[in-house]
Amino acid sequence: MVKNSNSLLAISKSIALYITLFIFLVPFIIVVMNSFKATQHFIESPFSLPKSLNFSNYVDAFQSMNFMQGIFNSLLLTVGSIIVIVFFSAMTAYLFARFKWRINKILFFTILSSMALPFQVLMIPLVILYGEMDLLNMRPTLMFMYVGFGLPLGVFTFHGFIKGIPYELEEAAFMEGSSRLRTFFVVVFPLLKPVMVTLIILEVLIIWNDYLLASLILQSPELRTLPLSVFNFFSSYSVDYAPLMAGLLMAMIPVLILYLVLQKHIIQGITDGALK
């Protein structure tokens, strides 16, 4: 009787998970289906399957969105910001975890408390401040802001993981004559790979999909990121819905590919972080 009850509970959980998965996938499926339709067919029957695979929508979206320029700007900002976030947050977390200075505790909790501050509170003052310094409409300015907003999460993520790494590994390196900096990069940093991948995915989703901050900082068309290019395409082609669907799908594909490639490492990072 107990076995039957457990089996029924497991089946119920599986059904609930599949239903939830389907609900989350419905918007994506609708975008994919309608990206191959003509606009008239999309308006008449948005939930039906396409009659044929119409790739002209992708060609129109690629040309009208200036897709290559948008993806270049997004890649430059995302990769550059994440490299700085990963290295600086890992080193800062190592400092807080290994050196038991009183000032470190104060700084650590100060950094964590900044995570509770909504970005919208700082948005307008930051734009006014950088505008007065004539630093708007520049990629480095936007990258600097991404790094500033991303470091607290990185420090918090790495700190707990580093505390779980046996200090004996570092002591062995010190006995061999290794410096503190070399020990960090040779011994500690490689062990951070699982949680590092998880952090990278989270930051990629935040930075790659960011529209609000990028729209406030970047005004020139040649500096537009992919979300800005999609929005501009939407504004210009607000009636031609089928190419819009193709443009939205093209903007999603890079992140989807990255997630599928690193999916195994993400799950491992979350598991290891929980165990630590």
Percent of the chain with pLDDT over 90: 25
Tokens of residue 124, six digits: 């307008």
250: nearest Cα among 65, 72, 33? 65
**Closest by Cα among 211, 257, 200 to 234:** 211
pLDDT for 214: 92
- Give CATH for domain 63-275: 1.10.3720.10
pLDDT per position as a tens digit, 47-95: 888 887 778 888 888 888 888 898 999 999 999 999 999 999 999 999 9
pLDDT tens digits, one per residue of 207-237: 998 988 999 899 888 999 988 888 887 765 5
Confidence of residue 275 (pLDDT cuts 50, 70, 90): very low
**Angle of the 67-98 helix axis to the 241-275 helix axis, nearest 10:** 10
Token match 């997004």: residue?
A: 74
Mean pLDDT over all residues of the chain?
Answer: 85
Question: What is the residue extent of each domain of the chain?
Answer: 1-26, 63-275
- Whether the pTM exceeds 0.75: the reply is yes
Is pLDDT above 50 for 13? Answer: yes
Handedness of CA 196, 202, 207, 208 (dihedral sign): positive
Q: Tell which residue, 147, 182, 188, 149, has the closest CA to residue 168.
A: 188
Output 275 or 165, whichever has higher pLDDT.
165
